[in-house]
């Protein structure tokens, strides 16, 4: 199958692993942050970390859109449904994320609020068309990847005159979060106000980059001296991208490279960008779980579409959400801790009883560790590494 099977070839993976093992400098450590939940799951599903030399480690960044949404925004959505009686439509992962008092959208639905799970923005539009007597609110979340479908829904609603449709906008932007992480890590020589780890390279997100292109990441090497490689989702994509970063780091250079050339260009999708610019505008500040309030890091419904802005149509007053005591999701999102460093992981916190968003979302790091990583230690990992060491000893080579 084109673009699938060839990027999961086991023999080529071992040759790539051997090349990486041969090229890393044994006297230094390599800390690479994948800024995408899809990369995190690929790393653990396919055992990519086990194929890396011991001094190359992946740090998990804030690339899960459900995970970075703060509790206060879920509180606000629940309040809209309960105080204004709207029909709140959202995606499945978000239904089970704990908000204040461990209340979830699913629990609010059980208590009588009209909250419905949808699979696309078009589902929300369909409900608004068929239930004209209900006010339908789309709880829109996600990075630049999922923003264009929301933009299309806004344009359709205005074109059709759907006065009972509006959007609760929680779309966030990747570059400001990446800038915050790098500034906090001290990569620019300064001290940030949140704790994180020093980073040697960045695996740039895949789907986000198909929309915005690689150009928006060029500030990273220019300001921080940190190399970036836009990486595809498949295991060999991730491994080749890691090798490209290792080579930049060893050479003492920093630039943006694009491994995911089959989908990403420098300038991205101009039509999608135009849709976003027409229907949304930047927020002055927006809160991210684990990162705090970041300037110009999220979108709001544009003034030209204000009649479809749920925050203006259905205002509610809520407090500041507080993380569940002991949950380390914010630190995991900064790459400061691994999920297994959290005392709640695997005991109190499981997919059936999540304490934080990182265990709920299909892109969350804790969910990845639970599904693929929590048993990948000891003899299994040693056996895989033994294969890699043997391959490295045979001087096998892989294409750069």
Residue 203 lies in a domain: no
The pLDDT value recorded for residue 184 is 84
The pLDDT value recorded for residue 318 is 73
Residue 325 lies in a domain: no
Residue 303 lies in a domain: yes
Domain, as residue range, for 102: 66-174+268-313
Residue among 258, 185, 215, 233 nearest 31 (CA): 185
Cα gap 19→397, rounded to integer Å: 6
Task: Please give the sequence-ordered ranges of beta strands (E in DSSP) within 228-326, or none if there are none.
Answer: 228-230, 256-258, 280-282, 285-288, 292-295, 299-301
For residue 103, the domain's CATH number is 3.40.50.11740
Residue 140 lies in a domain: yes
Cα gap 366→345, rounded to integer Å: 8
The pLDDT value recorded for residue 322 is 76
Tokens matching residue 142: 């996600």
Residue 145 lies in a domain: yes
Cα gap 158→239, rounded to integer Å: 45
Residue among 9, 50, 384, 43 nearest 231 (CA): 43
Helices (H) and strands (E) in the chain, counts: 18, 13
Cα gap 25→201, rounded to integer Å: 15
Residue 278 lies in a domain: yes
pLDDT, one tens digit per residue, over 67-100 is 999 999 999 999 999 999 999 999 988 999 999 9
The pLDDT value recorded for residue 384 is 38
Residue 128 lies in a domain: yes
Exposure letters 91-121 (e unless 16+ CB within 10 A, then b): bebbbbbbbbeeebbebbbeeebbbeebeeb
Residue 339 lies in a domain: no
Q: Does the predicted model carry a pTM greater than 0.85?
A: yes
Q: Provide the domain count of the chain.
A: 1
Tokens matching residue 299: 């979108």
Tokens matching residue 330: 């914010």
The pLDDT value recorded for residue 190 is 46
Cα gap 339→367, rounded to integer Å: 9
Mean pLDDT of the chain, nearest integer: 89
Q: Which residues of the chain have pLDDT under 50?
A: 1, 190-192, 375-400
Query: 201 pairs with which residues across the strands?
Result: 32
């Amino acid at each position: 199958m084109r673009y699938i099977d060839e990027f999961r070839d086991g023999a080529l993976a071992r040759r790539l692993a051997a090349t990486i093992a041969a090229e890393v400098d044994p006297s230094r450590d390599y800390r690479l942050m994948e800024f995408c939940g899809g990369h995190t799951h690929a790393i653990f599903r396919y055992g990519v970390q086990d194929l890396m030399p011991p001094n190359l480690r992946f740090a998990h960044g804030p690339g899960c859109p459900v995970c970075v949404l703060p509790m206060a925004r879920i509180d606000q959505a629940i309040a809209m449904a309960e105080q204004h009686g709207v029909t709140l439509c959202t995606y499945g992962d978000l239904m089970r994320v704990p908000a204040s008092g461990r209340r979830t959208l699913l629990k609010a639905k059980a208590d009588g609020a009209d909250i419905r799970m949808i699979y696309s923005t078009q589902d929300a539009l369909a409900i608004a068309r068929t239930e004209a007597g209900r006010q339908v609110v789309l709880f829109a979340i996600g990075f630049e990847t999922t923003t264009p479908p929301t933009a299309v829904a806004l344009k359709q609603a205005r074109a059709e005159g759907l006065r009972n449709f509006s959007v609760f906008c929680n779309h966030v932007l990747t570059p400001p979060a990446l800038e915050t992480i790098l500034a906090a890590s001290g990569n620019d020589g300064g001290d940030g106000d949140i704790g994180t780890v020093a980073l040697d390279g960045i695996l740039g997100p895949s789907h986000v980059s198909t929309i915005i292109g690689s150009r928006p990441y060029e500030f990273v090497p220019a300001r921080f001296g940190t190399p970036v490689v836009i990486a595809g989702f498949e295991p060999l994509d991730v491994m080749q991208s890691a090798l490209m970063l290792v080579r930049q780091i060893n050479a003492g250079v920093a630039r943006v490279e694009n491994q995911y050339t089959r989908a990403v260009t420098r300038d991205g999708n101009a039509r999608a960008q135009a849709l976003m610019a027409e229907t949304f505008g930047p927020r002055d500040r927006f809160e991210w779980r684990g990162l705090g309030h970041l300037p110009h890091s999220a979108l709001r419904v544009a003034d030209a579409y204000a009649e479809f802005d749920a925050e203006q149509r259905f205002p509610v007053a809520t407090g500041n959400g507080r993380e569940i005591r002991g949950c380390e999701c914010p630190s995991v999102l900064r790459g400061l801790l691994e999920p297994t460093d959290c005392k709640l992981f695997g005991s109190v916190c499981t997919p059936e009883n999540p304490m934080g968003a990182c265990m709920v979302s299909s892109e969350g790091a804790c969910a990845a560790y639970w599904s693929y990583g929590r048993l990948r230690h000891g003899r299994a990992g040693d056996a895989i590494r033994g294969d890699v060491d043997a391959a490295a000893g045979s001087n096998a080579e892989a294409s750069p």
